[in-house]
Structure 1
Amino acid sequence: MNREFIEALDQLEKEKNISKEVILEAIEAALISGYKRNFHSAQNVRVDLNRETGEVKVFARKNVVEDVVDPRFEISIDSAREINPNYQIDDIVEIEVTPKDFGRIAAQTAKQVVTQRIREAERGIIYETFIDKEEDIVTGIVQRQDSRYIYIDLGKIEALLPLNEQMPTERFKQGDRVKVYITKVEKTTKGPVIFVSRTHPGLLKRLFELEVPEIYEGVVEIKSIAREAGYRSKIAVYSHNEDVDPVGACVGPKGARVQTIVNELKGEKIDIVKWSKDIEVFISNALSPSKVVSVDINEETKIATVIVPDYQLSLAIGKEGQNARLAAKLTGWKIDIKSESQFEKE
Structure 2
Amino acid sequence: MSSELLDALTILEKEKGISRDVLIDAMEAALISAYRRNFNQAQNVRIDLNLGSGSMRVFARKEVVDEVFDPRLEISLEDARKINPNYVVEDVVELEVTPKDFGRIAAQTAKQVVTQRVREAERGIIYSEFIDREEDIMTGIVQRQDPKFIYVSLGKIEAILPANEQMPNEHYKPHDRIKVFITKVEKTTKGPQIFVSRTHPGLLKRLFEIEVPEIYDGTVEIKSVAREAGDRSKISVHSDNKEVDPVGSCVGPRGNRVQAVVNELKGEKIDIVKWSEDPVVFVANALSPSKVLDVLVNEAEKATTVIVPDYQLSLAIGKRGQNARLAAKLTGWKIDIKAETEAREIGIFPRDNEPLLSADDDYEEDFD
TM-score range, shorter chain: 0.7 to 0.9
Aligned equivalents of 1:90 and 1:276: distance in 2? 74
CA offset at residue 5 of structure 1? Answer: 4.5
- Please list, as runs of the form range in 1=range in 2, the aligned pairs for 1:213-224 lying within 5 A after superposition: 213-224=213-224
Aligned equivalents of 1:241 and 1:151: distance in 2? 43
Q: State the match for 1:229 in structure 2.
A: 229
Change (3 A) 1:14 1:153: closer
CA offset at residue 14 of structure 1? Answer: 6.7
Instruction: Quote the sequence identity (%).
Output: 73
Q: TM-score, normalised by structure 2?
A: 0.82
Question: Deviations along 1:162-203, whole A, 9 cap, x unmatched?
Answer: 211111222211111101111222233433222111111111
More deviation, 12-21/187-196 = 12-21
- How many pairs align? 346
Q: Match for 1:55: what amino acid?
A: S
CA offset at residue 239 of structure 1? Answer: 3.1
Change (3 A) 1:153 1:308: same
Q: Structure 1: where are the runs of 5+ without partners?
A: none
Q: Match for 2:138: what amino acid?
A: V
Aligned equivalents of 2:131 and 2:57: distance in 1? 42
CA offset at residue 15 of structure 1? Answer: 6.8
Q: Structure 2: where are the runs of 5+ without partners?
A: 347-368
Aligned equivalents of 2:66 and 2:341: distance in 1? 108
Structure 2 SS opposite 1:31: helix
CA offset at residue 102 of structure 1? Answer: 0.7
Q: State the match for 1:129 in structure 2.
A: 129
- Please list, as runs of the form range in 1=range in 2, the aligned pairs for 1:1-346 lying within 5 A after superposition: 1-2=1-2, 5-6=5-6, 9=9, 18-62=18-62, 71-73=71-73, 93-346=93-346
Q: Match for 1:183: what amino acid?
A: T
Structure 1 SS opposite 2:207: helix
CA contact (8 A) 1:168 1:230 kept: yes
**Which protein has greater RCO, CA pairs closer than 8 Å, 6+ apart?**
2
Change (3 A) 1:289 1:54: same
More deviation, 143-152/213-222 = 213-222
Q: Match for 2:197: what amino acid?
A: S
CA offset at residue 232 of structure 1? Answer: 0.8
Structure 2 SS opposite 1:170: coil
More deviation, 40-49/322-331 = 40-49
Change (3 A) 1:304 1:16: same
Q: Match for 2:273: what amino acid?
A: V
Structure 2 SS opposite 1:167: coil
Aligned equivalents of 1:263 and 1:207: distance in 2? 11
Change (3 A) 1:303 1:150: same
Structure 1 SS opposite 2:34: helix
CA contact (8 A) 1:16 1:121 kept: no
CA contact (8 A) 1:226 1:235 kept: yes
Question: Deviations along 1:114-141, whole A, 9 cap, x unmatched?
Answer: 4444433433332333233222211111
More deviation, 227-236/113-122 = 113-122
Question: Deviations along 1:84-142, whole A, 9 cap, x unmatched?
Answer: 66666666554433222111123235544544444334333323332332222111111
Question: Deviations along 1:317-345, whole A, 9 cap, x unmatched?
Answer: 11111111111111111111011121223
Structure 1 SS opposite 2:41: coil
Change (3 A) 1:288 1:58: same
Structure 1 SS opposite 2:320: helix
Q: CA RMSD in A?
A: 2.8
